[in-house]
Copies of this chain bind each other. A is one copy, B any other.
Amino acid sequence: MTWDVLNIVGTIAFAASGALVAMEEEFDFLGVLVLGLATAFGGGIIRNLLIGIPVSTVWEQDILLTIAVVTMCFVFILPAKWINLYWMRFGNLFDAIGLSAFAIQGAMFAQQMGHPVIAAMVAAAMTGTGGGIIRDILARRKPLVLRKDIYAVWAMGAGFAIGIGYPQKPFPLYALFASVVIIRMVSTRYKWRLPYRSL
Contacts and interface: CB of A to CB of B under 8 A. Distances in A.
A169 interface: no
B138 A28 contact: no
B62 A55 contact: no
B52 A113 contact: no
Interface in A116-147: 116, 118-119, 122, 133, 137-143, 145-147
Q: Chain A interface residue count: which class? A: 35 or more
Interface stretch (A7-15, A29-37, A176-184): A29-37
Given A23-B197, A49-B55, 15 more contacts: A23-B196, A24-B199, A27-B146, A28-B146, A28-B147, A28-B148, A28-B194, A28-B196, A29-B195, A30-B145, A35-B146, A50-B58, A56-B115, A65-B118, A80-B199
A142 B137 CA distance: 9
A49 B76 CA distance: 29
Contacts of A16: none
Q: How many copies of the chain does the oligomer comprise? A: 3
A195 B49 contact: no
Interface of A: 20, 22-31, 34-35, 37, 45, 49-52, 54-56, 58-59, 62, 65, 76, 80, 83, 113, 115-116, 118-119, 122, 133, 137-143, 145-148, 150, 152-153, 193-199
